[in-house]
Amino acid sequence: MTIVIAIIIGILLLGLLVFVHEAGHFLTAKLFSVKVEEFGFGFPPRIWGKRRGETIYSINAIPAGGFVRLMGEDGEAAGNPRSFASKGPWIRSGIIVAGVIVNLIVAFVLFTALLSSSGYRSDIPLNIPTTGEPLGLSFPFGKQTNGVMISFVSVGSPAQKSGLQSLDQVVSANGQTFTTISQFQEFVLKNSGKKLNLEVYNLLDRDSRFVVTTPRVDPPKGEGALGVLLDEVTTVRYETLPEKILAGPAHSVNMLYYQGKAIVALFSQAFREGTAEPVTSNVRGPVGIAALLGTFVGITGTRGIWLLIETVALISLILAVVNVLPIPAVDGGRLFFTVFEGVTGKKVNPNIEKAIHTVGFGVLIALFLVITFNDIATFFG
């Protein structure tokens, strides 16, 4: 599958998540009799639009999300009973947060389906992507079993000759198991020059196999006895009855915890090194996400389906969290003002709120363009 076709398929899947998010706003607005003036995919300028009933359904030029434009969303037409501005703060809050709730439901359902699938394992790396430094994760839910994973195999090394691959998790070596990198390294050194019978499980292929290899007694400078780089990985299992019943939400919390720790670690690394490279090399926009989704579509068999569902669920979860943050121009920014009104009884001047959202929207579009340029340079450079 070419990268262009992969991106097109990925855009369709990403668009589906945007659609269900905006459908949450749309249906909730209809429930409270608020007039929906436009249901748009992407941001203006408009490429195509068609009016059905009182609503224009449109496709727009900037594929960075979507929107539902409501009558009175900027405070106008407050006297019209079908205006968003005429509704109380808590009804407005419900309409605003509806898209986030739909994205959470999608993530919960998909993770539940995955975790109930026979043979599926929730394997999660425990290291910073760019440096391999341990993140020190202890997940809030589930039973966590740590292990050792091969992240890179040197050319011409014993590992390569024996068929070891990146993303191979070491299940056992000569019947012995390992929970840390240091344990495995010590074992390999003690057995230099001797044959090792390894059982490995590849996290991408989702398949186990046995490999026989012999660590070098005197490896080249800069390489270890096997010629591999190692990371730590954990498998999380949900075993208690409450965890099994709420596996989807529990796994969602675990994934948010993991993403939060990883983001903090990347920014900390960037601060220490005085460069944004650790962050920019790991951040992906719609083009990068679409390419990733499209790549998973091209993987045949059950493993491709698992990877695709897992990634779609995670993206839906992240969309929910990002949209609920108090950032101007996104749902969370608007929610902040409605909740403020509901709690204090004081309404912020609509012109001031509109100005804040306009500036926030401009910043988000600029950020989108920078990230998209980086994605294009990565995938097509």
pLDDT for 377 equals 74
Domains and CATH numbers, the chain: 1-121+248-381 (no CATH), 143-237 (2.30.42.10)
- Under a CB-based contact definition with an 8 Å cutoff, are residues 86 and 80 in contact? yes
Task: Give the integer Cα–Cα distance in Å for 48 and 51.
Answer: 10
Q: What count of Cα atoms within 13 Å lies in the side-chain half-sphere of residue 212? A: 2
Task: Give the integer Cα–Cα distance in Å for 168 and 160.
Answer: 12
pLDDT for 381 equals 59
Task: Give the integer Cα–Cα distance in Å for 173 and 169.
Answer: 11
Residue 124: both structure tokens together: 């999660």
pLDDT for 11 equals 77
pLDDT for 129 equals 63
Per residue of the chain (381 residues), give pLDDT as tens.
566 776 777 777 888 898 999 999 999 999 999 999 999 988 888 999 999 999 999 999 877 678 999 999 888 888 899 999 999 999 999 999 999 999 999 999 999 999 988 888 888 888 776 666 777 788 999 999 999 999 889 998 999 999 999 989 999 999 999 998 999 999 999 999 999 999 999 988 888 999 999 999 988 888 889 999 998 899 999 988 999 999 999 999 999 999 888 888 888 877 887 776 766 667 777 667 777 777 676 666 777 788 888 989 999 999 999 899 999 888 999 999 999 999 999 988 888 888 998 898 888 888 878 777 777 777 665
